[in-house]
Amino acid sequence: MNKKHFCPVCGFDGLGEAAFSSSNEPSHEICPCCGFEFGFDGGNEPAVFEKFRQRWIKNGSKWFMPNLNPKNWDKKNK
């Protein structure tokens, strides 16, 4: 079974790996929704996620990989 993981920045629930492991190692996965790359765009800290999220929202909350946008996804529910 493929377990999906949440993006701590935008709330997208389709990441293939946890953003950070239990030992705080980044997955280096790029969220297809907000474009945050874990291990590149900042550390595993809520303030980093919030700053990136606010900038993403300010810029229109556009999907980084629009072809992967689920039909029923709504950032307002995250």
pLDDT in 10s for each residue of the chain, 78 residues: 456 899 999 999 889 999 999 999 999 999 999 999 999 988 898 999 999 999 999 999 999 998 888 777 665 544
Would you say 52 and 36 are in contact if contact means Cβ atoms under 8 Å apart? yes
Residue 64, judged by CB atoms within 10 A of its CB (0-12, 13-18, 19+), counts as: middle
For the chain, what is the domain count?
A: 1
Within a domain: 78? no
The answer for 42, left when phi > 0, alpha when psi is -120 to 50, beta otherwise, is left
- What is the residue range of 47's domain? 1-71
The DSSP bridge partners found for residue 15 are 5
